[in-house]
């Protein structure tokens, strides 16, 4: 036999696959512009200053993000991981982001990446993966992989992902779908 068997405790208590559809895609968030923390599990950040015109708009087919008069370098859509997904997230998990992008009334942003942050008692750990900016649906693995900190029982742990777009001046993107899936990592 060439591979090892999973530990017996893993067979007795398999970890469930957790799915999460953030609130703006689950129930919508009204129409019109959205800023700052616009839902209990989502927020918008940018470095364009007060004069920047960043617009995140709820639409029937998801969210639309656009930037005008923007001299900054990034616009970030932050999505909190639910407590049950973040509490024990560590090297033994496989976190994936299911994402659909579409061109809005302007060209797609110049670049993008996903950043996963795990924070335990105020100490953050981060990893970043590039995001292919093309219209259509995709699944992007986020790890966290063997470099992630192992959860310490009894310590408060939270996590979030940042969907970061660069080169946003005069550009925009529609996000019809975004969901997170956390599963146990496959055994070698």
pLDDT of residue 50: 79
The CATH number given to 17-184 is 2.60.120.260
Burial class (CB in 10 A: 0-12, 13-18, 19+), 175: buried
Burial class (CB in 10 A: 0-12, 13-18, 19+), 17: exposed
* Peptide bond before residue 162 is cis, with ω within 30 degrees of 0: no
d(CA 76, CA 72): 11
pLDDT of residue 163: 92
Pick from 136, 66, 59, 64: nearest CA to 100: 136
pLDDT > 90 in the chain, percent = 14
Domain chopping of the chain, boundaries: 17-184
Residue carrying structure tokens 């407590």: 83
pLDDT tens for residues 115-151? 999 998 888 999 999 988 888 899 998 888 888 888 8
Q: Quote the mean pLDDT of the chain.
A: 79
Pick from 164, 188, 55: nearest CA to 111: 164
């Amino acid at each position: 036999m060439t591979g090892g068997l999973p530990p017996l405790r893993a067979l007795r208590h398999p970890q469930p696959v957790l799915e999460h559809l953030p609130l703006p895609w689950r129930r919508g968030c009204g129409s019109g512009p959205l800023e700052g923390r616009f839902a209990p599990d989502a927020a918008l950040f940018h470095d364009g200053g007060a004069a920047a015109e960043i617009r995140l708009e709820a639409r029937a087919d998801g969210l639309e993000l656009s930037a005008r008069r923007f001299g900054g370098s990034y616009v970030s859509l932050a999505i909190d991981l639910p407590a049950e997904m973040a509490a024990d997230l560590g090297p033994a998990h496989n976190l994936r982001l299911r994402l659909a992008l579409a061109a809005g009334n302007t060209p797609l942003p110049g670049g993008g990446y996903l950043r996963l942050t795990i924070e335990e008692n105020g100490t953050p750990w981060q990893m970043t993966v590039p995001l292919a900016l093309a219209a259509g649906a995709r699944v992007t693995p986020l790890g966290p992989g063997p470099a992630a900190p192992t959860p310490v029982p009894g310590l408060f742990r939270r996590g979030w992902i940042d969907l970061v777009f660069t080169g946003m001046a005069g550009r925009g993107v529609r996000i019809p779908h975004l969901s997170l899936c956390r599963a146990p990592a496959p055994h070698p």
